[in-house]
Amino acid sequence: MSGIAFPAPDADILARRDAIVAGLAELLPPEALIVSEDERRAFETDALTAYRRMPLAVALPSTTEEVAAVMRFCNAQGVKVVPRGAGTSLSGGAIPQEDAVVLGVAKMNRVLDVDFADRTMRVQAGITNLAISQAVAYEGFFYAPDPSSQLACTIAGNIGMNSGGAHCLKYGVTTNNILGVRMVLLDGSVVDIGSDALDAPGYDLLGLVIGSEGQLGVVTEATVRILRAAEGARPVLFGFETSEQAGAAVAAIVAAGIVPVAMEFMDKPAIEICEAFAHAGYPLDVGALLIIEVEGSDAEMDVALARIVEIARAHEVKTIRESKSAMETAAIWKGRKSAFGATGRVADYICMDGTIPTGQLPLVLRRMDEIVKSYGLRVANVFHAGDGNLHPLIMYNVNDPEEARKAEEAGNDILKLCVEVGGCLTGEHGVGIEKRDLMRHQFTQDDLEQQMRVRAVFDRNWLLNPAKVFPLDGRLAA
């Protein structure tokens, strides 16, 4: 794929590379600065591997003070900075550019404080999503948003992209689970945004920062909400003849006011791919599968499930299988969470990430299928149906440029469809470079300029992650 343009690197910066590296070397211990081409190569892309750019240098600081020193230096020198967590971005949010320094926070991965009385926890921003939950599991607590990449992805990246996950239907996404951040601004100043309480004074700058894709500052610490895990949880598999039936069942469950912890959708190709990979026990004789998880006491789960089963029956559900053991539950979720990896074994794919109002699910499922077929391609659908967050995986042959172009076009058509029915271009993967130019389908130039003016309050000169989010043409001048 090559449909997305990178800006030409700044020749002046490239010419000053040695001096810039020397300046950074004065601010960081030797092991925190990556200069050699071999080592830089590990940072030339992220999970959107179709695009690669070699960064000028990579800084891996261990403290907020070191981050501040790097930011102050880069700002003074006019050097671009690309913040990076674990590099698992599916939209290319962490892909560098030749005239930029990558600033990675992965070394800052410690738990700083746990407060069970207030149900909050203070962590460094490079900690992985799963490590947060693991650190408080001994007391029966957990951190709710659970992206499929939770073993690797950092809370810094989650904050940058406002990440979700299968269990966000009930507990909300990142923005609903972060109470405060410590952030380094471009000029090196360190600010605390949000508070330890449920409400924070002043404008909702925390909301502004969450999902801002590393363009307002670099987050080095975060206060997260932790929740008490429910008494028990039980996923149930509901197999339907058609995707439309499954989609209509989801819409009916939502409209009935039932909020399961998770409501995940897989179509036939996704079921087959995941079952072959993970042996999750998914039914193979159905056209679409819903994994619906309820939680609470046994009595609570029984009540909720009875209502869900009733709705599923009204939509002609074909098979219902309840998990009977912790092992079965683990297998069911392993299948779902390995969907991207499993698809990657059978084909190259691009993963879309649109959102739609849940009521539009049956319509959008039908139209998506038509779109992908019209390009002669195949699609596997796995997604968070409960909150209307779609993840069609469009499969193509990476070595066939024509097919790659078609896959990208089909993906664009799907995202435009999401916008048309009242949804948006991205649910949890972010805009990055991948959807940068599609932003014009969501926003007018006026809309974009207003957003850019807000952005300019933090970074007037487009130094922070500059190639991303906003189309390259029509940008506000400094």
The runs of H, that is alpha helices, within 220-359 are 243-255, 268-278, 298-314, 326-337, 339-346
Nearer to a copy of itself, 13 or 418 (CB): 418
Least distance (Å) between residue 42 CB and a copy of itself: 31
Quote the CA–CA distance of 87 and 105 in Å, as a whole number: 10
Interaction residues for a copy of itself, span 52-91 (CB under 8 A): none
Helix (H) or strand (E) holding 444: none
**DSSP conformation class of 138:** G
Quote the CA–CA distance of 441 and 450 in Å, as a whole number: 16
User: Total number of residues binding a copy of itself (CB under 8 A)?
Assistant: 72
* Strands of 262-267's sheet in order across: 319-322, 232-240, 288-296, 262-267, 378-384, 392-396, 348-351
Interaction residues for a copy of itself, span 390-429 (CB under 8 A): 422-428
Interaction residues for a copy of itself, span 188-247 (CB under 8 A): 189, 191, 195-205, 207-208, 210-212, 227-229
By CB under 8 A, is residue 117 in contact with a copy of itself?
yes
Nearer to a copy of itself, 142 or 340 (CB): 142
Least distance (Å) between residue 457 CB and a copy of itself: 4
Q: Distances from the Cα of 232 to the Cαs of 264, 296, 398, in angstroms?
A: 19, 5, 43
Instruction: Let me know: does 226 contact 121? Beta carbons within 8 Å.
Output: yes
Among 116, 151, 281, 420, binds a copy of itself (CB under 8 A): 116
Least distance (Å) between residue 440 CB and a copy of itself: 12
Interaction residues for a copy of itself, span 245-304 (CB under 8 A): 251, 254-258, 296-297, 299-300, 303
- Dihedrals φ, ψ of 223, to 5°? -100, 120
Among 68-76, 284-292, 344-352, 451-459, the segment contacting a copy of itself (CB under 8 A): 451-459
Among 6, 10, 23, 176, binds a copy of itself (CB under 8 A): 176
- Dihedrals φ, ψ of 407, to 5°? -60, -45
Among 52, 72, 119, 268, binds a copy of itself (CB under 8 A): 119
Residue at 18: amino acid letter: D
Among 129, 323, 358, 381, binds a copy of itself (CB under 8 A): 358
18's CB contacts (< 8 A; 6+ apart) are none
Least distance (Å) between residue 475 CB and a copy of itself: 15
Taking the CA of residue 372 as centre, how many other CA atoms within 13 Å lie in the half-sphere pointing to its CB? 23
Least distance (Å) between residue 196 CB and a copy of itself: 4
Among 38, 446, 473, 477, binds a copy of itself (CB under 8 A): 446
Nearer to a copy of itself, 183 or 382 (CB): 183
